A and B are shown apart, each in its own frame.
Chain A
Amino acid sequence: MSSYLELSARQRIPHIFDASSFEEFLAPGARVVSPHLAQLDAPVSFDDGVVVGRGLLDGQVVFGAAQEGGFMGGAVGEVHGAKLVGMLRRAVDEGAYAVLLLLESGGVRLHEANAGLIAVSEVMRAILDVRAAGIPVIVAVGGANGCFGGMGIAARCANTVIMSEEGRLAMSGPEVIETANGVEEFDSKDRALVWRTTGGKHRYLLGDCQVLVADDTDAFRAAAIAAMADAHGGAALTLDGLQAEQTMLKRRIRDFGDADDPLEVWRRLGVPEPGAVPMLEADAFLAMAAQHRAGPGTGEN
Protein backbone atom coordinates (compact mmCIF):
# COMPACT_ATOMS: atom_id res chain seq x y z
CA MET A 1 0.00 0.00 0.00
CA SER A 2 1.23 3.49 -0.77
CA SER A 3 -0.29 6.91 -0.43
CA TYR A 4 -1.61 8.34 -3.72
CA LEU A 5 -1.56 11.83 -2.21
CA GLU A 6 2.16 11.82 -1.53
CA LEU A 7 3.29 10.64 -4.95
CA SER A 8 4.22 12.83 -7.89
CA ALA A 9 2.35 12.48 -11.18
CA ARG A 10 5.19 10.42 -12.62
CA GLN A 11 5.24 8.14 -9.59
CA ARG A 12 1.49 7.57 -9.73
CA ILE A 13 1.49 6.23 -13.29
CA PRO A 14 3.34 2.93 -12.60
CA HIS A 15 1.26 2.34 -9.46
CA ILE A 16 -2.00 2.69 -11.34
CA PHE A 17 -1.23 1.17 -14.75
CA ASP A 18 -0.02 -2.41 -15.27
CA ALA A 19 3.67 -2.78 -14.48
CA SER A 20 6.02 -1.32 -17.14
CA SER A 21 3.16 -0.91 -19.62
CA PHE A 22 2.97 2.86 -19.89
CA GLU A 23 4.48 4.58 -22.91
CA GLU A 24 4.69 8.36 -22.62
CA PHE A 25 3.92 10.61 -25.59
CA LEU A 26 6.18 13.63 -26.04
CA ALA A 27 8.33 12.65 -23.08
CA PRO A 28 10.52 15.23 -21.28
CA GLY A 29 13.42 14.34 -23.59
CA ALA A 30 11.59 16.21 -26.36
CA ARG A 31 12.02 19.35 -24.23
CA VAL A 32 8.76 20.91 -25.26
CA VAL A 33 8.17 23.71 -22.78
CA SER A 34 5.75 26.56 -22.35
CA PRO A 35 6.58 29.40 -24.75
CA HIS A 36 5.20 31.98 -22.32
CA LEU A 37 6.82 31.37 -18.94
CA ALA A 38 10.37 32.45 -19.77
CA GLN A 39 9.34 36.01 -20.59
CA LEU A 40 7.86 36.21 -17.09
CA ASP A 41 11.06 34.77 -15.59
CA ALA A 42 9.03 31.83 -14.36
CA PRO A 43 10.53 28.33 -14.33
CA VAL A 44 9.61 25.89 -17.08
CA SER A 45 9.24 22.13 -16.98
CA PHE A 46 10.15 19.69 -19.73
CA ASP A 47 6.74 18.08 -19.47
CA ASP A 48 4.86 21.35 -18.80
CA GLY A 49 3.34 19.69 -15.76
CA VAL A 50 1.56 16.77 -17.36
CA VAL A 51 2.38 13.21 -18.39
CA VAL A 52 0.32 11.79 -21.26
CA GLY A 53 0.52 8.38 -22.88
CA ARG A 54 -0.85 4.90 -23.35
CA GLY A 55 -0.61 1.85 -21.17
CA LEU A 56 -2.39 -1.24 -20.03
CA LEU A 57 -4.87 -1.31 -17.19
CA ASP A 58 -5.91 -4.79 -16.18
CA GLY A 59 -4.68 -5.87 -19.61
CA GLN A 60 -6.80 -3.36 -21.54
CA VAL A 61 -5.32 -0.56 -23.65
CA VAL A 62 -6.04 2.59 -21.69
CA PHE A 63 -4.84 6.09 -22.54
CA GLY A 64 -3.96 8.29 -19.63
CA ALA A 65 -2.68 11.53 -18.21
CA ALA A 66 -1.33 12.64 -14.87
CA GLN A 67 -1.10 16.30 -13.90
CA GLU A 68 1.84 17.30 -11.70
CA GLY A 69 0.67 19.42 -8.81
CA GLY A 70 4.26 20.28 -7.97
CA PHE A 71 4.64 22.37 -11.12
CA MET A 72 2.52 25.52 -10.96
CA GLY A 73 -0.16 23.61 -9.08
CA GLY A 74 -0.92 21.47 -12.11
CA ALA A 75 -2.37 24.49 -13.86
CA VAL A 76 -3.20 24.30 -17.55
CA GLY A 77 -1.19 26.35 -20.03
CA GLU A 78 -0.96 26.19 -23.81
CA VAL A 79 1.38 23.18 -24.06
CA HIS A 80 -0.09 21.33 -21.06
CA GLY A 81 -3.59 21.63 -22.52
CA ALA A 82 -2.48 20.67 -26.02
CA LYS A 83 -0.82 17.50 -24.69
CA LEU A 84 -4.09 16.48 -23.05
CA VAL A 85 -6.07 17.23 -26.21
CA GLY A 86 -3.61 15.35 -28.44
CA MET A 87 -3.75 12.31 -26.16
CA LEU A 88 -7.57 12.38 -26.05
CA ARG A 89 -7.79 12.59 -29.85
CA ARG A 90 -5.32 9.74 -30.22
CA ALA A 91 -7.41 7.64 -27.83
CA VAL A 92 -10.28 8.02 -30.29
CA ASP A 93 -8.05 7.35 -33.32
CA GLU A 94 -6.74 4.15 -31.80
CA GLY A 95 -10.01 2.97 -30.28
CA ALA A 96 -8.82 2.90 -26.67
CA TYR A 97 -10.70 0.76 -24.17
CA ALA A 98 -10.86 3.73 -21.79
CA VAL A 99 -9.15 6.98 -20.81
CA LEU A 100 -7.93 7.53 -17.26
CA LEU A 101 -7.14 11.07 -16.12
CA LEU A 102 -5.24 11.53 -12.85
CA LEU A 103 -6.18 15.16 -12.32
CA GLU A 104 -4.49 17.59 -9.97
CA SER A 105 -4.88 21.19 -11.04
CA GLY A 106 -5.73 24.68 -9.95
CA GLY A 107 -7.32 25.25 -13.37
CA VAL A 108 -6.15 27.86 -15.84
CA ARG A 109 -2.46 28.84 -15.53
CA LEU A 110 -2.62 32.56 -14.96
CA HIS A 111 0.80 33.21 -16.51
CA GLU A 112 -0.72 32.31 -19.86
CA ALA A 113 -4.28 33.06 -18.97
CA ASN A 114 -5.99 33.37 -22.35
CA ALA A 115 -4.27 30.31 -23.81
CA GLY A 116 -5.06 28.34 -20.67
CA LEU A 117 -8.73 29.26 -20.74
CA ILE A 118 -9.13 28.25 -24.37
CA ALA A 119 -7.11 25.10 -23.71
CA VAL A 120 -9.33 23.98 -20.84
CA SER A 121 -12.38 24.32 -23.09
CA GLU A 122 -10.57 22.31 -25.76
CA VAL A 123 -9.85 19.62 -23.18
CA MET A 124 -13.54 19.53 -22.23
CA ARG A 125 -14.62 19.14 -25.83
CA ALA A 126 -11.99 16.47 -26.43
CA ILE A 127 -13.15 14.52 -23.34
CA LEU A 128 -16.70 14.61 -24.68
CA ASP A 129 -15.44 13.50 -28.11
CA VAL A 130 -13.90 10.47 -26.41
CA ARG A 131 -17.18 9.65 -24.69
CA ALA A 132 -19.11 10.16 -27.92
CA ALA A 133 -16.84 7.54 -29.48
CA GLY A 134 -18.10 5.11 -26.85
CA ILE A 135 -14.89 5.21 -24.83
CA PRO A 136 -15.29 5.66 -21.06
CA VAL A 137 -13.43 8.51 -19.39
CA ILE A 138 -12.50 7.96 -15.76
CA VAL A 139 -11.11 10.73 -13.54
CA ALA A 140 -9.16 10.27 -10.31
CA VAL A 141 -8.78 13.12 -7.81
CA GLY A 142 -6.56 12.55 -4.83
CA GLY A 143 -3.61 14.93 -5.00
CA ALA A 144 -2.68 17.64 -2.53
CA ASN A 145 -3.65 20.46 -4.88
CA GLY A 146 -7.15 19.15 -5.54
CA CYS A 147 -8.96 19.73 -8.81
CA PHE A 148 -10.25 23.25 -9.28
CA GLY A 149 -11.28 25.86 -11.81
CA GLY A 150 -11.91 24.71 -15.33
CA MET A 151 -10.43 21.30 -14.54
CA GLY A 152 -13.08 20.91 -11.81
CA ILE A 153 -15.61 21.30 -14.61
CA ALA A 154 -13.70 19.01 -16.95
CA ALA A 155 -13.60 16.33 -14.24
CA ARG A 156 -17.38 16.28 -14.15
CA CYS A 157 -17.49 15.69 -17.90
CA ALA A 158 -16.12 12.19 -17.25
CA ASN A 159 -18.20 9.06 -16.82
CA THR A 160 -16.88 8.42 -13.35
CA VAL A 161 -15.03 10.51 -10.76
CA ILE A 162 -13.02 8.56 -8.20
CA MET A 163 -11.84 10.50 -5.14
CA SER A 164 -10.08 9.88 -1.89
CA GLU A 165 -11.35 11.72 1.14
CA GLU A 166 -8.19 13.83 0.97
CA GLY A 167 -9.03 14.82 -2.60
CA ARG A 168 -10.78 18.11 -3.20
CA LEU A 169 -13.04 18.94 -6.13
CA ALA A 170 -14.63 22.33 -6.70
CA MET A 171 -14.48 25.36 -8.93
CA SER A 172 -13.23 28.57 -7.30
CA GLY A 173 -10.63 28.06 -4.59
CA PRO A 174 -11.47 29.29 -1.09
CA GLU A 175 -8.81 32.02 -1.34
CA VAL A 176 -10.41 33.40 -4.48
CA ILE A 177 -13.81 33.55 -2.83
CA GLU A 178 -12.41 35.10 0.32
CA THR A 179 -10.59 37.75 -1.73
CA ALA A 180 -13.72 38.56 -3.73
CA ASN A 181 -16.34 38.48 -0.98
CA GLY A 182 -14.63 38.56 2.36
CA VAL A 183 -13.62 36.19 5.11
CA GLU A 184 -17.24 35.99 6.32
CA GLU A 185 -18.20 34.45 2.99
CA PHE A 186 -15.53 31.75 3.01
CA ASP A 187 -12.70 31.62 5.53
CA SER A 188 -9.91 30.01 3.53
CA LYS A 189 -7.87 29.48 6.73
CA ASP A 190 -10.62 27.36 8.25
CA ARG A 191 -9.24 24.03 7.07
CA ALA A 192 -12.14 22.00 8.44
CA LEU A 193 -14.63 24.17 6.53
CA VAL A 194 -12.58 23.99 3.35
CA TRP A 195 -12.42 20.23 3.66
CA ARG A 196 -16.15 19.87 4.43
CA THR A 197 -17.01 21.98 1.40
CA THR A 198 -14.69 20.56 -1.24
CA GLY A 199 -13.43 17.21 0.10
CA GLY A 200 -14.12 13.72 -1.14
CA LYS A 201 -16.63 12.73 1.52
CA HIS A 202 -18.90 15.69 0.83
CA ARG A 203 -18.64 15.16 -2.91
CA TYR A 204 -19.51 11.50 -2.46
CA LEU A 205 -22.49 12.23 -0.24
CA LEU A 206 -23.83 14.77 -2.75
CA GLY A 207 -23.22 12.53 -5.76
CA ASP A 208 -20.50 14.62 -7.43
CA CYS A 209 -18.12 11.70 -7.23
CA GLN A 210 -19.23 8.15 -7.82
CA VAL A 211 -16.49 6.25 -6.03
CA LEU A 212 -14.70 7.08 -2.79
CA VAL A 213 -11.53 5.21 -1.88
CA ALA A 214 -8.88 5.35 0.81
CA ASP A 215 -5.70 7.28 0.00
CA ASP A 216 -4.03 4.22 -1.48
CA THR A 217 -2.75 3.70 -5.01
CA ASP A 218 -4.02 0.09 -5.05
CA ALA A 219 -7.50 1.31 -4.16
CA PHE A 220 -7.43 3.92 -6.94
CA ARG A 221 -6.24 1.29 -9.40
CA ALA A 222 -8.94 -1.20 -8.43
CA ALA A 223 -11.60 1.51 -8.61
CA ALA A 224 -10.42 2.63 -12.05
CA ILE A 225 -10.54 -0.94 -13.35
CA ALA A 226 -14.06 -1.42 -12.02
CA ALA A 227 -15.24 1.99 -13.28
CA MET A 228 -14.04 1.48 -16.84
CA ALA A 229 -15.67 -1.94 -17.01
CA ASP A 230 -18.92 -0.48 -15.64
CA ALA A 231 -19.00 2.40 -18.07
CA HIS A 232 -18.09 0.29 -21.07
CA GLY A 233 -20.94 0.09 -23.54
CA GLY A 234 -22.60 3.18 -22.07
CA ALA A 235 -19.93 5.85 -22.24
CA ALA A 236 -21.70 8.38 -24.48
CA LEU A 237 -24.03 11.10 -23.22
CA THR A 238 -27.74 10.34 -23.60
CA LEU A 239 -30.82 12.51 -23.33
CA ASP A 240 -32.16 10.31 -20.55
CA GLY A 241 -28.90 10.58 -18.64
CA LEU A 242 -28.81 14.35 -18.97
CA GLN A 243 -32.47 14.69 -17.94
CA ALA A 244 -31.72 12.57 -14.87
CA GLU A 245 -28.78 14.80 -14.05
CA GLN A 246 -30.98 17.89 -14.55
CA THR A 247 -33.46 16.44 -12.06
CA MET A 248 -30.75 15.53 -9.57
CA LEU A 249 -29.17 19.00 -9.67
CA LYS A 250 -32.55 20.69 -9.37
CA ARG A 251 -33.47 18.52 -6.40
CA ARG A 252 -30.15 19.40 -4.79
CA ILE A 253 -31.01 23.10 -4.86
CA ARG A 254 -34.48 22.37 -3.50
CA ASP A 255 -33.22 20.17 -0.67
CA PHE A 256 -30.04 21.98 0.33
CA GLY A 257 -30.19 25.42 -1.30
CA ASP A 258 -30.68 27.20 2.02
CA ALA A 259 -28.14 25.17 3.99
CA ASP A 260 -25.24 27.28 5.20
CA ASP A 261 -22.75 24.51 5.90
CA PRO A 262 -22.11 21.01 4.61
CA LEU A 263 -22.83 19.74 8.13
CA GLU A 264 -26.42 20.88 7.59
CA VAL A 265 -26.51 19.15 4.19
CA TRP A 266 -25.34 15.92 5.80
CA ARG A 267 -27.89 16.27 8.59
CA ARG A 268 -30.67 16.66 6.04
CA LEU A 269 -29.41 13.59 4.21
CA GLY A 270 -30.08 11.73 7.44
CA VAL A 271 -26.47 11.21 8.43
CA PRO A 272 -26.77 10.26 12.12
CA GLU A 273 -23.79 12.21 13.46
CA PRO A 274 -22.73 14.84 10.91
CA GLY A 275 -20.01 16.15 13.20
CA ALA A 276 -18.36 12.73 13.28
CA VAL A 277 -18.12 12.33 9.48
CA PRO A 278 -14.63 13.84 9.20
CA MET A 279 -13.25 11.27 11.62
CA LEU A 280 -14.70 8.17 9.95
CA GLU A 281 -12.30 5.79 8.23
CA ALA A 282 -13.11 5.07 4.60
CA ASP A 283 -14.83 1.73 5.24
CA ALA A 284 -17.00 3.00 8.08
CA PHE A 285 -17.83 6.10 6.07
CA LEU A 286 -18.86 4.07 3.04
CA ALA A 287 -21.07 1.83 5.14
CA MET A 288 -22.83 4.88 6.57
CA ALA A 289 -22.99 6.70 3.22
CA ALA A 290 -24.57 3.72 1.48
CA GLN A 291 -27.76 4.52 3.35
CA HIS A 292 -27.66 8.28 3.16
CA ARG A 293 -25.96 9.63 0.04
CA ALA A 294 -28.08 11.72 -2.28
CA GLY A 295 -30.17 10.37 -5.09
CA PRO A 296 -30.30 7.05 -6.86
CA GLY A 297 -27.58 6.61 -9.46
CA THR A 298 -26.37 10.12 -8.69
CA GLY A 299 -27.10 11.49 -12.11
CA GLU A 300 -25.51 11.49 -15.51
CA ASN A 301 -23.23 8.59 -16.17
Chain B
Amino acid sequence: MDWQTLASRLFPDGHDIVENGNFLSGSGRAGAGPDAQTVAVIGTTEHAPIGIEIALAQAQAVLRTVREHPGRPILILVDTQGQRLRHRDEMLGINSYMAHLGKCIDFARRQGHKVLGLVYDQALSGGFITSGLIADACFALPQATIRVMGLPAMARITKVPEERLTELARENPVFAPGAGNYLRMGGLQALWEYELAAALVEALENVDAVDRRMLLGQERGGRHMAQAVAQAVRTGGDVRPA
Protein backbone atom coordinates (compact mmCIF):
# COMPACT_ATOMS: atom_id res chain seq x y z
CA MET B 1 0.00 0.00 0.00
CA ASP B 2 1.45 3.42 -0.90
CA TRP B 3 1.66 5.96 1.89
CA GLN B 4 -1.01 8.26 0.42
CA THR B 5 -3.60 5.47 0.37
CA LEU B 6 -2.54 4.41 3.83
CA ALA B 7 -2.81 7.96 5.18
CA SER B 8 -6.27 8.50 3.75
CA ARG B 9 -7.48 5.23 5.21
CA LEU B 10 -5.96 5.96 8.63
CA PHE B 11 -7.26 9.53 8.65
CA PRO B 12 -10.53 9.71 6.68
CA ASP B 13 -11.18 13.15 8.19
CA GLY B 14 -8.00 14.50 6.73
CA HIS B 15 -4.27 14.81 7.20
CA ASP B 16 -1.44 17.09 6.16
CA ILE B 17 1.31 14.51 5.84
CA VAL B 18 3.96 15.39 3.28
CA GLU B 19 6.86 13.48 1.81
CA ASN B 20 10.29 14.99 1.53
CA GLY B 21 13.01 12.70 0.19
CA ASN B 22 11.32 9.52 1.49
CA PHE B 23 10.76 11.16 4.88
CA LEU B 24 7.13 11.52 5.94
CA SER B 25 5.91 14.07 8.45
CA GLY B 26 2.74 15.88 9.36
CA SER B 27 -0.39 15.10 11.30
CA GLY B 28 -3.82 13.56 10.91
CA ARG B 29 -7.19 13.59 12.65
CA ALA B 30 -7.98 10.27 14.27
CA GLY B 31 -11.50 9.36 15.28
CA ALA B 32 -14.64 11.44 14.89
CA GLY B 33 -16.85 13.76 16.91
CA PRO B 34 -15.85 15.05 20.32
CA ASP B 35 -13.28 12.29 20.77
CA ALA B 36 -11.35 13.11 17.62
CA GLN B 37 -7.69 13.89 18.22
CA THR B 38 -4.70 15.06 16.26
CA VAL B 39 -1.91 12.53 15.79
CA ALA B 40 1.61 13.52 14.83
CA VAL B 41 2.99 11.33 12.05
CA ILE B 42 6.59 10.57 11.14
CA GLY B 43 7.89 7.84 8.91
CA THR B 44 9.57 6.74 5.74
CA THR B 45 8.50 5.43 2.38
CA GLU B 46 9.87 3.72 -0.76
CA HIS B 47 11.72 1.20 1.45
CA ALA B 48 14.05 4.05 2.38
CA PRO B 49 17.44 3.08 3.73
CA ILE B 50 17.79 4.83 7.08
CA GLY B 51 20.88 6.96 6.87
CA ILE B 52 22.02 9.65 9.24
CA GLU B 53 19.99 12.47 7.62
CA ILE B 54 16.65 10.69 7.71
CA ALA B 55 17.22 9.46 11.26
CA LEU B 56 17.97 13.02 12.33
CA ALA B 57 14.93 14.41 10.48
CA GLN B 58 12.67 11.97 12.31
CA ALA B 59 14.27 12.87 15.65
CA GLN B 60 13.76 16.55 14.89
CA ALA B 61 10.07 15.96 14.19
CA VAL B 62 9.66 14.06 17.46
CA LEU B 63 11.37 16.81 19.46
CA ARG B 64 9.24 19.46 17.75
CA THR B 65 6.10 17.53 18.67
CA VAL B 66 7.22 17.30 22.30
CA ARG B 67 7.97 21.03 22.39
CA GLU B 68 4.99 22.38 20.49
CA HIS B 69 2.26 19.80 21.06
CA PRO B 70 2.67 18.28 24.50
CA GLY B 71 0.89 14.97 24.84
CA ARG B 72 0.00 14.60 21.17
CA PRO B 73 0.18 10.93 20.15
CA ILE B 74 2.87 9.99 17.64
CA LEU B 75 2.41 7.43 14.87
CA ILE B 76 5.53 6.08 13.17
CA LEU B 77 4.90 4.74 9.66
CA VAL B 78 7.55 2.16 8.87
CA ASP B 79 8.78 1.25 5.40
CA THR B 80 12.51 0.70 5.28
CA GLN B 81 15.08 -1.66 3.84
CA GLY B 82 17.14 -1.15 7.02
CA GLN B 83 20.04 1.06 7.93
CA ARG B 84 22.00 2.61 5.06
CA LEU B 85 25.05 0.47 4.32
CA ARG B 86 27.65 3.12 3.52
CA HIS B 87 31.11 3.89 4.79
CA ARG B 88 30.15 7.54 5.24
CA ASP B 89 27.28 6.71 7.56
CA GLU B 90 29.54 4.53 9.70
CA MET B 91 32.32 7.13 9.72
CA LEU B 92 29.88 9.75 10.99
CA GLY B 93 28.48 7.43 13.64
CA ILE B 94 25.13 6.20 12.30
CA ASN B 95 24.61 4.23 15.52
CA SER B 96 24.61 7.54 17.38
CA TYR B 97 22.00 8.97 15.01
CA MET B 98 19.83 5.88 15.44
CA ALA B 99 20.26 5.98 19.21
CA HIS B 100 19.37 9.67 19.22
CA LEU B 101 16.13 8.92 17.38
CA GLY B 102 15.37 6.12 19.81
CA LYS B 103 16.05 8.35 22.80
CA CYS B 104 13.84 11.13 21.41
CA ILE B 105 10.97 8.66 20.97
CA ASP B 106 11.55 7.24 24.43
CA PHE B 107 11.61 10.73 25.91
CA ALA B 108 8.33 11.58 24.19
CA ARG B 109 6.79 8.46 25.70
CA ARG B 110 7.84 9.53 29.19
CA GLN B 111 6.42 13.00 28.59
CA GLY B 112 3.02 11.40 28.08
CA HIS B 113 2.93 10.98 24.30
CA LYS B 114 1.52 7.67 23.20
CA VAL B 115 3.78 6.26 20.50
CA LEU B 116 2.54 3.72 17.95
CA GLY B 117 4.47 2.04 15.16
CA LEU B 118 2.85 0.72 12.00
CA VAL B 119 4.78 -1.39 9.48
CA TYR B 120 2.81 -0.76 6.31
CA ASP B 121 5.26 -2.24 3.82
CA GLN B 122 8.70 -3.41 4.85
CA ALA B 123 10.77 -3.37 8.04
CA LEU B 124 14.33 -4.58 8.34
CA SER B 125 16.78 -4.88 11.21
CA GLY B 126 18.48 -1.59 12.01
CA GLY B 127 15.76 0.55 10.49
CA PHE B 128 13.16 -1.15 12.66
CA ILE B 129 14.91 -1.10 16.05
CA THR B 130 14.62 2.66 16.49
CA SER B 131 11.23 3.05 14.82
CA GLY B 132 8.44 0.52 15.29
CA LEU B 133 10.28 -1.52 17.89
CA ILE B 134 10.87 1.45 20.20
CA ALA B 135 7.21 2.53 20.11
CA ASP B 136 4.84 1.69 22.97
CA ALA B 137 3.38 -0.91 20.66
CA CYS B 138 4.00 -1.83 17.04
CA PHE B 139 1.37 -2.96 14.54
CA ALA B 140 1.58 -4.13 10.94
CA LEU B 141 -0.53 -4.63 7.89
CA PRO B 142 -0.86 -8.38 7.24
CA GLN B 143 1.11 -8.24 3.99
CA ALA B 144 4.03 -6.39 5.60
CA THR B 145 7.51 -7.90 5.32
CA ILE B 146 9.53 -7.90 8.51
CA ARG B 147 12.89 -9.52 8.82
CA VAL B 148 16.50 -9.38 9.81
CA MET B 149 17.54 -11.22 6.67
CA GLY B 150 16.13 -13.69 4.18
CA LEU B 151 16.61 -17.43 4.56
CA PRO B 152 19.18 -17.74 1.72
CA ALA B 153 21.50 -15.21 3.39
CA MET B 154 20.87 -16.81 6.75
CA ALA B 155 21.78 -20.21 5.29
CA ARG B 156 25.10 -18.82 4.08
CA ILE B 157 25.99 -17.32 7.44
CA THR B 158 24.80 -20.11 9.69
CA LYS B 159 26.03 -22.86 7.32
CA VAL B 160 22.68 -24.59 7.71
CA PRO B 161 21.11 -25.68 4.37
CA GLU B 162 18.29 -23.45 3.23
CA GLU B 163 15.93 -26.44 2.90
CA ARG B 164 16.51 -27.28 6.54
CA LEU B 165 15.87 -23.65 7.59
CA THR B 166 12.67 -23.58 5.55
CA GLU B 167 11.51 -26.74 7.24
CA LEU B 168 12.35 -25.41 10.72
CA ALA B 169 10.68 -22.11 9.93
CA ARG B 170 7.31 -23.85 9.65
CA GLU B 171 7.35 -24.62 13.35
CA ASN B 172 9.61 -21.94 14.78
CA PRO B 173 8.87 -18.27 14.09
CA VAL B 174 12.41 -17.31 15.08
CA PHE B 175 13.94 -17.82 11.64
CA ALA B 176 11.62 -16.76 8.90
CA PRO B 177 10.53 -13.30 7.74
CA GLY B 178 6.93 -12.25 8.10
CA ALA B 179 4.54 -10.16 10.14
CA GLY B 180 2.85 -13.29 11.51
CA ASN B 181 6.08 -14.48 13.06
CA TYR B 182 6.70 -11.15 14.75
CA LEU B 183 3.14 -11.25 16.04
CA ARG B 184 3.67 -14.67 17.60
CA MET B 185 6.91 -13.53 19.21
CA GLY B 186 5.31 -10.46 20.74
CA GLY B 187 7.24 -7.97 18.59
CA LEU B 188 3.94 -6.86 17.11
CA GLN B 189 0.90 -6.10 19.21
CA ALA B 190 -1.60 -6.89 16.44
CA LEU B 191 -2.17 -6.92 12.71
CA TRP B 192 -4.45 -4.24 11.28
CA GLU B 193 -6.44 -6.00 8.61
CA TYR B 194 -9.55 -4.05 7.68
CA GLU B 195 -10.73 -0.80 9.22
CA LEU B 196 -7.46 1.06 9.66
CA ALA B 197 -9.02 4.22 11.08
CA ALA B 198 -10.91 2.24 13.72
CA ALA B 199 -7.83 0.16 14.53
CA LEU B 200 -5.82 3.35 15.08
CA VAL B 201 -8.45 4.80 17.42
CA GLU B 202 -8.64 1.58 19.36
CA ALA B 203 -4.85 1.38 19.68
CA LEU B 204 -4.65 4.98 20.87
CA GLU B 205 -7.10 4.10 23.63
CA ASN B 206 -5.39 0.93 24.71
CA VAL B 207 -1.62 1.20 24.51
CA ASP B 208 0.46 2.23 27.48
CA ALA B 209 4.14 2.71 28.18
CA VAL B 210 4.87 -0.73 29.65
CA ASP B 211 6.95 -3.10 27.51
CA ARG B 212 5.03 -6.39 27.58
CA ARG B 213 6.48 -7.99 24.47
CA MET B 214 8.15 -10.88 26.28
CA LEU B 215 4.90 -11.77 27.99
CA LEU B 216 3.01 -11.57 24.70
CA GLY B 217 5.59 -13.80 23.05
CA GLN B 218 5.17 -16.33 25.82
CA GLU B 219 1.36 -16.24 25.69
CA ARG B 220 1.33 -16.61 21.94
CA GLY B 221 3.86 -19.45 21.95
CA GLY B 222 6.40 -17.66 19.76
CA ARG B 223 9.06 -16.95 22.38
CA HIS B 224 9.07 -19.52 25.15
CA MET B 225 12.15 -18.50 27.07
CA ALA B 226 12.48 -14.72 27.14
CA GLN B 227 9.84 -13.90 29.74
CA ALA B 228 10.83 -16.79 32.01
CA VAL B 229 14.54 -15.93 31.84
CA ALA B 230 14.04 -12.20 32.39
CA GLN B 231 11.75 -12.91 35.32
CA ALA B 232 14.16 -15.43 36.85
CA VAL B 233 17.02 -12.93 36.63
CA ARG B 234 14.85 -10.16 38.01
CA THR B 235 13.56 -12.08 41.00
CA GLY B 236 16.41 -14.49 41.61
CA GLY B 237 14.13 -17.47 40.91
CA ASP B 238 14.38 -20.44 38.60
CA VAL B 239 13.55 -20.53 34.95
CA ARG B 240 10.24 -22.17 34.23
CA PRO B 241 9.76 -22.14 30.49
CA ALA B 242 6.23 -21.84 29.20
Interface residues in chain A, defined as those with a beta carbon under 8 Å from any beta carbon in chain B = 25-26, 30, 32, 34-36, 39-42, 52, 78-79, 81-83, 85-87, 89-90, 93, 108, 110-122, 124-126, 128-129, 132, 149-150, 152-157, 169-172, 174, 176-177, 180-181, 185-186, 197-198, 202-203, 206, 208, 237-239, 242-243, 245-246, 249-250, 252-253, 256-257, 259-262, 265, 300
Docked CA distance A250–B54 (Å)? 11
- Asked if B6 is an interface residue, CB under 8 A from chain A, the answer is no
- Which of B94, B133, B225, B234 is within 8 Å of A117, CB to CB? B133
| Smallest Cβ-Cβ distance to A86: which chain B residue | B233
Docked CA distance A197–B104 (Å)? 26
Contact with A along B25-68 (1 / 0, CB 8 A): 00000000000000000000000000011001001100100110
CB pair A237–B110 under 8 Å, yes or no, is yes
Docked CA distance A132–B210 (Å)? 13
CB pair B85–A181 under 8 Å, yes or no, is yes
Within 155-195 of B, Cβ neighbours of A (below 8 Å) are at: 157-158, 160, 168, 172-176, 181-182, 185-187
Beyond A78-B226, A186-B87, A249-B56, is A239–B98 a contact (Cβ under 8 Å)? no
Count B-side interface residues using an 8 Å CB cutoff.
78
Contacts of A250 in B (CB 8 A): 56
Docked CA distance A124–B213 (Å)? 13
| Smallest Cβ-Cβ distance to A83: which chain B residue | B233
Q: How many A-B residue pairs have CB under 8 A?
A: 250
- Asked if B229 is an interface residue, CB under 8 A from chain A, the answer is yes
CB pair B92–A256 under 8 Å, yes or no, is yes
Output the residue of B56, B66, B90, B187 with the most chain A CB within 10 A.
Answer: B90
Beyond A108-B148, A125-B211, A246-B59, is A177–B85 a contact (Cβ under 8 Å)? yes
Contact with A along B81-97 (1 / 0, CB 8 A): 00101111111111111
CB pair B173–A245 under 8 Å, yes or no, is no
Docked CA distance A156–B103 (Å)? 9
Contacts of A156 in B (CB 8 A): 95-96, 98-100
- Which of A83, A110, A185 is within 8 Å of B154, CB to CB? A110
CB pair B56–A82 under 8 Å, yes or no, is no
Contacts of A185 in B (CB 8 A): 85-87
- Which of B87, B149, B224, B230 is within 8 Å of A86, CB to CB? B230
Docked CA distance A280–B176 (Å)? 47
